[in-house]
Amino acid sequence: MTNTRPAPPGLAIDTPPCPLCDRSTDPTPDGTLDCENCGCFWDANRPDEPGEWFEPHVPACGATAQPYADNRYASAEVRALVYTCVLDTGHDGDHRGTDENDGVENWRREVLTVELPAGVNA
């Protein structure tokens, strides 16, 4: 008498997180790993290579932030870091930028908005 074993269950494929927003990328039948949140994708066979934007011709948001400027516990180098948002103009949600060393920082639009008291013109 032969015992047949059921096939081992399928694997749940873990996809790498998007380096900009940290959400899981979505595998597609085209062989790309997509991040809808940031509007970009990577070649699934070369995921360590730089990715591409869905709409490469839309100008960059370009907002900047110096998130550690006022942090007295940070080193002078860290306080001097300037991040420039790499998403497109008019994007939703937080800005997502990299510094020149490819550090990634997300920051909220509110950080960059200065509320003026009523009656004061900028």
Q: How far is the CB of 21 from Zn ion (least distance, A)?
A: 3
Stretch of residues binding Zn ion (CB under 5 A), selected from 45-53, 76-84, 89-97, 114-122: 89-97
Q: How far is the CB of 67 from Zn ion (least distance, A)?
A: 14
Q: How far is the CB of 107 from Zn ion (least distance, A)?
A: 9
DSSP string, 84-117: EE-SBTT--SSEEEE-TT--EEEE-GGGGPPPPP
Stretch of residues binding Zn ion (CB under 5 A), selected from 3-11, 13-21, 26-34, 41-49: 13-21
Which structure tokens are listed for 22? 């940290």
Residue 63 and residue 77 in contact, taking contact as beta carbons nearer than 8 Å: no
Of positions 33, 61, 65, 81, contacts Zn ion by CB under 5 A: 61
Does 86 interact with Zn ion (rule: CB under 5 A)? no
Query: How many residues make contact with Zn ion (CB under 5 A)?
Result: 11
Chain residues binding Zn ion by CB under 5 A are 18, 20-21, 35, 37-38, 61, 63, 85, 87, 95
